[in-house]
């Protein structure tokens, strides 16, 4: 996370990975690599990799492309998603559905659209809305500082 432009994605996605590492019942039965380009005011600011290989293999969520490649077992379908940082938070918490976001241009998708639709399922199974809201409540000061620095 950059001190000059902290992103909600840099706070939320590592937390999601931590929760998935602690509870294997949350692992989704989805196979694919999600390359998520997070933007701020339509400018690319970060890239995250969500590698899902079924519910028998621990998911990998990382900003390190080499780590995602090293963890890949066999061939996986890939989808590239471009999303604004604030929209990603709304998507994880259930405030923005994938289909609606895609239809109104808030999410851009390249690659396997069916796989892209399954990402919403991943967040739902992991209790994305409740867990994200719990994380936000516990880390309100950190998130407030991130938001205020983003306005500079």
Q: Where are the chain's structural domains?
A: 8-143
Distance of CA 52 to the CA centre of its chain: 12
Regarding pTM above 0.85, the answer is no
Q: Going along the chain, which residue ranges are E strands?
A: 31-40, 43-53, 60-62, 78-84, 107-111
CATH label, 8-143, candidates 3.30.565.10, 3.30.450.20, 3.30.1050.10, 3.10.20.30: 3.30.1050.10
Q: Quick check: 68 and 75 in contact, CB under 8 A? A: no
pLDDT, tens digit, 9 for 90 and up, residues 60-98: 999 999 999 999 988 899 999 999 988 887 787 777 788
Answer yes or no: is pLDDT of 37 > 90: yes
């Amino acid at each position: 996370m950059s001190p000059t432009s902290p992103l909600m994605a840099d706070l939320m996605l590592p937390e999601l990975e931590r929760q998935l590492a602690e509870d294997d019942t949350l692992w989704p039965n989805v196979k694919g690599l999600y390359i998520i380009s997070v933007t701020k005011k339509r400018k690319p600011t970060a890239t995250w990799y969500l590698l899902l290989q079924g519910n028998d293999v621990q998911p990998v969520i990382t900003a390190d492309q080499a780590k995602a490649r090293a963890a890949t077992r066999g061939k996986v379908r890939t989808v590239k998603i471009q999303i604004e940082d604030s929209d990603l938070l709304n998507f994880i918490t259930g405030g923005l559905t994938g289909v609606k976001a895609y239809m109104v241009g808030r999410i851009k998708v390249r690659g396997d659209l069916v796989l892209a639709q399954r990402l919403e399922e991943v967040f739902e199974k992991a209790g994305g809305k409740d867990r994200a809201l719990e994380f936000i409540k516990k880390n309100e000061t950190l998130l407030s500082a991130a938001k205020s620095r983003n306005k500079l």
